[in-house]
Amino acid sequence: MDTTHRESPATGGSPAPREHGRRKVIGAGLGVLAAAAAGGGVYWATRGGDAPGPSTPAPPWTPPAHVPASELDTKWVGVQTHDVAVAESFGAWLGRPLDVVVVFNSDANWAALSGPWFAMAPPAGQDWGQWVRDDPDTRTLVVSTGLVPAGPPEDWRARGAAGEYDAHWTTFAENLVSKGLGSSIVRLGWELNGDWYETHYIGSTEAQREAWKAYFRRIVQIITAVEGADFEIDFNIAEGQQDSVTIDEMYPGDDWVDIIGVDVYDSYISPIDPTARWEEKDAKVNSLSAVIAFAAERDKPISIPEWAMVAAGDTQGGGDSPEFVNQIADAVVGAEVRYQAYFNVPEGGVGMTLADAPRGRAAFLSRFGASGDAGPVAG
């Protein structure tokens, strides 16, 4: 969502053990600012172009074997939180354990980015490495991370593509693997088409976008080459036109992407009628249906890493809307979906949680709860 997301500490039957990560198939073996105590988010603007620089050859890498989207259509249910207790209580309310939890890495500096706080030095109640290790067959962490620390040089995309930051990404992957998080979904440069993120905005020019894509590919090759790594890579855009650049102009290529994600909020739409709101959203560039179609053409599953009802107000939110919840659920049922996660905090312009939306909450429980039709696919 194109406003600041800040984490707040408040807020069916058990799924079969999952096969983590498609890259394991061939043995590849090859904004949020999270402070030490909790998660937070800041969006910045970024400007300027990327000039080419001296290049370091990328390490040897073999693209992973393709896995059909149907085999990754797990429809896992998740929530965004940095507190384990919040995730557990959400699962208890849902009537089934959560499959995924979305967290945000720090972008304070390279040491913080490459040594994720939630794994290396977690505060009490926020040890997500332990959460996964306690039940690795049914739990997956979704790691949202920027591509550079805050305050990057103007040409950071080109520098990254040339290999200047390689060592940091090796350390990032090694640290996650060392804490039992080597099968995480890495949401690399999430909402990349939003200029509110200086740490991973794809850019406003073709040159910037091409450098960004080259850097993205390089990061994927580095982190998946670390011994013990079995990451899944989520290429995750924000719904809407942003710079009117379509997803196909931003996409780095099939070999470097496992999941194609899109964040969807019930906001910035003027019609009040829920059906008219959805139709107008669907007409936007990079709408949910457009991303589903784009992924289907490539036989990739989608994700909805962030979605939520939004309070009425400056962001033109739809408020308590069971219609919006059911529209998302219908999309999940009809598509091949790896996971979806509800952004159940009021910060970031959302202005409400499920607790503030009794009708929407009932619809969510009905569709995604233990007996819902939009929950995990048995496998």
Nearest CA among 218, 117, 225 for reference residue 165? 218
User: Which alpha helices (H) appear in the chain, and where do they start and end?
Assistant: 84-94, 110-114, 117-120, 128-134, 156-161, 166-178, 206-225, 247-250, 274-282, 288-297, 322-334, 358-368
Task: Please report how the helices 288-297 and 322-334 are oriented relative to each other, as an axis angle in degrees rounded to 10.
Answer: 10
Pair of tokens at residue 101: 């939890």
DSSP label of 312: S
Looking at 174, 198, 306, 323, which residue is catalytic? 306
Is 7 annotated in the active site?
no
Looking at 191, 198, 323, 336, which residue is catalytic? 191
**Start-to-end CA span in the chain (Å):** 32
158 Cβ partners below 8 Å, 6+ apart?
50, 51, 52, 53, 211, 215
Is 347 annotated in the active site?
no
Say how far residue 99 (Cα) sits from the centre of its chain.
Answer: 14
Which residues participate in catalysis according to the annotation?
191, 306
